[in-house]
Amino acid sequence: MKKRCVRLAIAAVFAVATLTAGCSSSKPTAGRQTKAVPVNTMLVQTGSIGGSVTLTGQVASNVQTKVVSKQSGKIAKVFVNIGDKVTAGQTLAQLDTSDLEVQLNQQQAAVQVAQAQYEKAKTDAVNSSSQASSALTQAQVSLNDAQTNYERTKNLYDSGAVSKQQLDTAELNLETAKAKLDAAQQQYQASQVNGDPLQQGSVKVAAAQLEQARANLAVVQNQYNEATITSPVTGTVVSKDADMGTFVGTQTSVVTVAQVDPVKVNLNIPETIIANVTPGLPVTISVQSLGNETIKATLSRVSSVVDQNVKAYPAEVVIPNPEGKLKSGMVAQVTIEGMQTHQGIQIPSGSLVQTADGAKVFVVQNNVAHQVLLKLGVIGSTKVEVLDGLKPGDVLVVGGQELLGEGTPVQVQNGPGADPNKAANQGQSSANGQNGEADKGQGNAKRNGSNNGNSNHGSTGNGNGSGGKQ
């Protein structure tokens, strides 16, 4: 009985000690060192920079046009759908023209009336001129007769053959004939301008009224024609923005048509290399969604004005797309070749850590990470040029930097600074752990197979397992 109590007391002390040890191991003490963060590194070196640079671009339609209606109205029918190929001038949609047809008929009738009035004015002018000419001729004849009669009468009066009253009558007739001739001349001149009777004022007014009627008709005819919405370019319908029955205004898009052969790749040229980038440089384009296929082309356009939103210079590469594989919005890697080279430091862009102060990296010194602020030069999609902050020989963290802070202890797994012996020990420790687990499994099997439940067998299994873990 006494031995049994002693055993129970020892077991209790052992359990308390085990629990205490487990609790103390779950929370490190204040003086305990932070666990080293595993990282990968590379050695900073000087090399040739330039010659080519890879930038990220985006495929876009060479021309994309939102086709709007020039007239307000209700859409009677849309003739195309998304994906349809269209040609320039092809009808895309039709507005309801019932009201315009009424106006068109009215204006056509108004033109007919004005035309008839103009023809009548011309006829009247010609007739008026003819009548005035006849009246002028008759007045001239009458004047000649009156002049002859007056001269004869005066001679007779001078010889005493006629009375003074007869002479006065002849003189009065002469003056009347002169007055009629003046009136006839004025009427004749009024019937024509510069010898042309069609230059009369009445004809001009009728002609102006006819032109006004024709202009009104042309306005309505143009509105009627513009009710038919056509494509301004040859391309593919990429969106159907309105449907039958929709009321559209002059700013409402009905259909969007894009020119997808050729297409263009838009990219932005950094200020640091813009001096070396000119249209005509060879480029190689790869689109991840198309697999390993590459496209050779030349740089088509480079803007001379910086885009303030991205602080870079927009550029374009126009490439054929006969099969339509390249879709608008695809991301492309554009390698510009044929550029000048220079010596400098380049590092992987993935090693950068963006902070409020700018781009930084971590370098390793004596297994401790230190943060360094960089001044960058050429920025590509995979590599960046470092103008200041690093020097050849620095050990740069290229993997695991997202877990680091200034002064964080590190353990280099791959790259300069890695401990090959420690890596081998870790591999051996892992192998031992696997063997221990196997031994533990065998001990458990031996314990479960015992019929008498002897505790010594169970201890053997646990012991094997513990030995495997050490």
Residues 105 and 218 in one domain: yes
- Residues 330, 306, single domain; the answer is yes
CATH of residue 79's domain is 2.40.50.100
Residue type, 296: K
Tens of pLDDT, residues 164-187: 899 899 889 989 989 988 888 887
In a domain, 268, yes or no: yes
pLDDT reported for residue 188? 74
- This prediction has a pTM of 0.51
3-state DSSP helix/strand/coil % of the chain, to nearest 5: 45, 35, 25
Question: Is the same domain home to 347 and 337?
Answer: no
CA distance 122 to 202: 8
Tell whether 124 is covered by a domain.
yes
| pLDDT tens-digit map of 344-384 | 999 999 999 999 999 999 999 999 999 999 998 877 778 89
Flag whether 176 is in a domain.
yes
Q: Which of 222, 268, 236 is nearest to 103 (CA)?
A: 222
Distance CA 420, CA 422 (A): 5
Residues 220 and 120 in one domain: yes
User: Do 299 and 320 fall within a single domain?
Assistant: yes
How many residues are listed for the chain in this entry?
Answer: 470
Helix or strand (DSSP H, E) at 399:
strand 395-399
User: Looking at the domain assignment, is residue 42 inside a domain?
Assistant: no
Among candidate residues 414, 445, 463, the one where a domain is terminated: 414
Bridge partners (DSSP) listed for residue 294: 286
Residues in the chain where the model's pLDDT stays below 70? 1-33, 190-200, 420-470
Looking at the fold, whether 318 and 359 belong to one and the same domain comes out as no
Identify the domain boundary among 341, 376, 400. Answer: 341
Is residue 45 in a domain? no
Judge if 270 and 220 occupy the same domain.
Answer: no
- Within-domain flag for 286: yes
Question: What is the pLDDT at residue 197?
Answer: 64
Residue 114's pLDDT is what?
93
| Prior bond of 262 cis (ω within 30°) | yes
Q: Give the integer Cα–Cα distance in Å for 266 and 258.
A: 16
What pLDDT, on a 0 to 100 scale, did the predictor assign at position 284? 95
Whether residue 85 is found in the same domain as residue 231: yes
Domain span holding position 212? 100-224
CA nearest to 34, candidates 465, 444, 409: 409
**CATH number where 193 lies:** 1.10.287.620
Whether 36 is in a domain gets the answer no
Q: Are 319 and 263 in contact (CB under 8 A)?
A: yes
Bridge partners (DSSP) of residue 318 are 264
153 and 107, same structural domain? yes
DSSP state, residue 279: T
| Residues 336 and 355 both lie in one domain | no
Same domain as 356, residue 208: no
The domain boundary residue, chosen from 253, 269, 303: 253
The count of structural domains within the chain is 4
Cβ partners under 8 Å of residue 46, min gap 6: 343, 344, 345, 392
Specify whether 81 is located in the same domain as 167.
no
Residue 140, H or E segment: helix 98-159
Say which CATH number the domain at 297 has: 2.40.30.170
Does residue 376 lie within any of the structural domains?
Answer: yes
Alpha helix (H) residue ranges in 299-394: none
